[in-house]
Structure 1
Amino acid sequence: MACIVALILIISFLGVLMMTLGNTNYSLKEVIEYFFSTSSKGAAYTIKTLRFPRLVVGGLAGFAFGIAGYTFQNLLRNPLASPDIIGVTAGSSAAAVFGILILGLSGAIVSFFSVISGLAVTCVIFLLSGKGQAFGSRMILIGIGMQAVLNALISWMLLVGSEYDVGTALRWLRGSLNMVQTSDIPAIMVVTIICGGLLLVCDKNLRMMQLGDEFAITLGVPITAVRVCCMVCALVLSATATAATGPIASVAFLSGPIAKKCTGNGKNAMPVAGLIGTILVYASELVSKNVFETKYPVGVITGLLGAPYLLLLLLNLNKKGA
């Protein structure tokens, strides 16, 4: 509990910085005044229409990516199993780019296509993975292959798409909070509350399953129901978050391992993973907007954080013969 309280305090601090820092800096008092102002111009517009949606959607997306990544890694018992590694986010991205560049769509319809495509691609990966003890490893390998195919398809669409829409697609593909709107908040909030709540309820059973299916069954865990519920909820969370912000790299991949370090793999690891996901998004957004002269998408910064960890993880797995 102390870890969760500390993380919430860090999130609150970073949230205040996100609302106060930018091209124009405001004091916290000014932010509060402008937020409740009836004016729709100037500073009030910046606070209510630009910064507040980034704060809420970025926080919810980070939390969704965090617990989705933690769930995948525990379900498949593999630290490489996260939505951005096994092809879930690539499926959502391909549909969004197709909608933007080929069909000329925008707004909620692109998000809808993104979610449906992410779920459909995962179903294909799941069916191709078969059954048995090697299911998790096969799913990861097939997912990586599917991701390569989808990334090639995305590259082709970027080449043939309208040059006027390519910039929008590229910003979305890098994972960005720049295009989020107030209208994006309800969908991701409802999905995060429902699916995140279900995952937190299943967390105890999920941790028991880490000891082996046979042991979990003796403790009365309905392993099939828990596995299906966790998989579906994690998929919907990651696909919805991707639809809202684009595929913010490495948040799902990093949150679980950091959470386990913070809790000693304890009972609060799942909510901690979600909170760490939010911190990663907030901190990366602040760095991208205030440290560099060029305003990079948040996904560029999180990708830089995840790349060294992925290399270290692969080296350690290779040493263990895994």
Structure 2
Amino acid sequence: MTTPAAPEWIDAGEWSATELHALYTGLAASTPPDAPPRVLWMRSREAHVSVGGSQDPEADLDLDHCAARGIPVVRRPLGGGSVWVDADQDCFFVIRPSRVLKRGPRHLFAQGLAMAVDVLRELGLQGVEPRGQDVWVQGRKIMGTGAATLNEGSVFGASFLGRFPVEDFLACVRAPSEGYREWLRPVLEAGMTDCAGELGRAPDSAALRDSLRRVTERRFEAPPVEVTPDAATVEAWLAAGYEELDDIADGDARPSVPEGIRVNRDNHVFETRVACGRLRLHVEGQHIARVWCEDPAVDRVLGERVAGELPERLHLRSRLAGCLDPAVADAVSARIDALYRGIA
């Protein structure tokens, strides 16, 4: 029986927003096919918004606000949508040669998510469970994760949300109208949680780090070997990472969720335009939790006939039949259906 390779533990300390994403990106891109598992521990020195590798930040964020407040926006190689990374937020990355991942990215997601769940449980959080590519606590999302393949290396990344500043993040989100953020706020508050909210305090960084080291040993069945890369190695990783980030920034981009935002896998808020004016929508799971139209007459009908219903065209059209002009009913039904289908 082959003895598992001992994982390498790299405590890289604190970095600026761009440096943080460049460092793990460059390390992954430079990973040789015979490298052992590596766990990279880092902290963000500054608050910033990180967006997914294929996400268009201009479509999803208020970039003027971010620039005015000095909040960097970094397009990362990992997938997913907009993520607030607070100053002093602890992040970890699992980096492995792609050839050893028998099930590809799913293998790496399974490893990384299991490690994150173990740490949160060890800290004393209750009701911790993975859902898709996220980690939830007591029915609310506490962590999003992402992964990417870069040359011969693959990387999984996540961060421990000590405190989630709802208002700071909300101000960075592009708002198509005055009322949009007012709708989004309660969905964020109900759909997201953080370590401070669950434990009564934000966990100490050293406690998180030490817990992750113990989890690393258990999961890889070998004590981690602490590695301190020299300055030249770090510079090489950064250089490779900057090159990758430049390529990502020049690549194709699209909104993470067309005309809306994903709060968690069960909650999405949209705003669009139809013939009768602005249409705003909160979809929770497979039902319309809330709907609004700026035309008062249409808004009244939608509130009575559509709230709580499935966001599917034929079903909505049947609910609106005889209550709205047929053309308006069809247009609204089709638009809601298209927004819902754009979630996937």
| Largest Rg, 1 or 2 | 2
Give the number of the structure with larger relative contact order, counting CA–CA contacts within 8 Å between residues 6 or more apart. Answer: 1
TM-score by length of structure 2 reads 0.23
Q: TM-score, normalised by structure 1?
A: 0.24
